[in-house]
Chains A and B, each alone.
Chain A
Amino acid sequence: MKICAAFLAGSMIAVRPAFSQRLYVSNEAGHSISVIDTRTHRVIRTIPVSERARGIAVSPDGRRVYVALSDDVPMRESAGDRIAVIDAVSGRILSLYRSGSDPEQFGVTPDGRRIYASNEDAGTASAIDVATGRVIASMIVGIEPEGVAVSPDGRWAYVTAETSNTVSVIDTRANKVVSSFLVDIRPRAAAFSPDGKRAYVSAEVGGSITVVDVSRHEPIASIPLERGEGKPVGIVVSHDGKWLYAANGRTGTVSVVDLAKHEVIATIRVGRRPWGIALSRDGSTLYTANGLSNDVSVIDVASRKVTATVKVGERPWGVAVSAR
């Protein structure tokens, strides 16, 4: 008993200073969230949720995990359509925010006070006040809205729409759509550069990344992936803004894009149908959620090699990294 206690205490001391990051993976068909310890690459907890879990993000203060849940009732908001608020440490579901119909992806403002969510089947985006959990605005965007990204200064929310091939620009001060622009066909995710000057939009069927000048809300270039045969869905920009990593769902690869040259410089084979992609806080490791192989690929950024594969729930969709 004593030995055991001593061992426990020892291990706690050993572990605590290097508190490892956690990965949160939404399992769309599994109706659950897998929590992975990034040091051991083990699933340390599985949090059941009531519905299809898709978009997932950690609050800027790292205390909460938000997950978009939607049921199969098309075209209207129903009880299953919610954003779940999960305590990042205990894994307990703290509340279920209303979010409009069929929430798919969302972005959190850098101050952590607001969430912008796309309502896929309603053709709208909803602004949610985090303090009250209430929908404070609903805006008409393109048809079949999907990806949401909030600019680093919190001023703009970009919402992509898959059928209309558009990005709607929401001014977060007014909660109004102030501009729209066309991108390559079937846009999925959007991401801003760390300086907020550029945004990038993946086009799944177009097989490209559209580069957007944020000051004018206008596309300025298109980067073909894998000679146009890439099928980018999730994208993430490196913390220094030099690289973009795109998860090509249909080809089971991650394209590494040099953002200075607008060129693909490497392609990494991962699991089957990677959609969600996230970068560790130190920028050394990439993670993809592989929907058809039901696992997460762990990629070493420096060597561009998959170093581990972690089994998760059924049809993993998105992946988010904890704040520390």
Chain B
Amino acid sequence: MTDSFIVDDSLIVAGEKLGSRLILGTGGAPSMQVVAEALTASRTALCTVSIRRAGTTTDGSIVDVLAEHGVRLLPNTAGCRTAREAVTTAQLARDALGTDWVKLEVVADEHTLLPDPVELLRAAEKLVADGFDVFAYTNDDPVLARHLQRTGCVAVMPLGAPIGSGLGILNPHNIELIVAEATVPVVLDAGVGTASDAALAMELGCDAVLLASAVTRARQPALMAAAMAAAVDAGRLAYRAGRIPRRRHAQASSPTTGMPVL
């Protein structure tokens, strides 16, 4: 075993050390029991929750379930279409849950659920000025990521593909560009369909992966959560190890000297 296994490779975001590079969303799970099983299997340390009208569910409190599992809350502004809505939702989340952390999500329309860059940046500026630690869900656009970073976001979270699509990472080159310029953690958020997508995100240099549907809507959510945890670990190790360059032709791994004449 080499030194590289011993070093503490924990993710640090907003000055806090997290015990896992897999961040889970809880949306789409058929029951709180399924959420609980997925949390355990994923070994996640951070989980996003949405802010909705109180008293509409009878399935227990997600806040209690996360607390029981020692998982930190990352409230989100899912469903918001304007900066004003997102800022108000973030303020409500802070008042309700007592955390400055927020996953900022401002989508343009219901069809694509793609982030609206103008409203996103506007909301990020306001929330950072208001003392929030902003995790910005963004397009796979290196320039927008740069702006969000300059604004003071604590993490930029480019999508691999549209939310819930399971299409994987559609533009790995852009994700690499975002990583190359990053001064804050980069979290691949949205689009992950299966474990290899999560591993690829980490191999591209992302600091973490955030996913929900891939686990909560899998045939067996807890099994998929375990697969994602393993994939994130494997991808991170591969990134640190440094992959071999791609070659156009074969390169023998056996010695070319000492060949007998037969």
Q: Do A and B interact with each other, yes or no? A: no
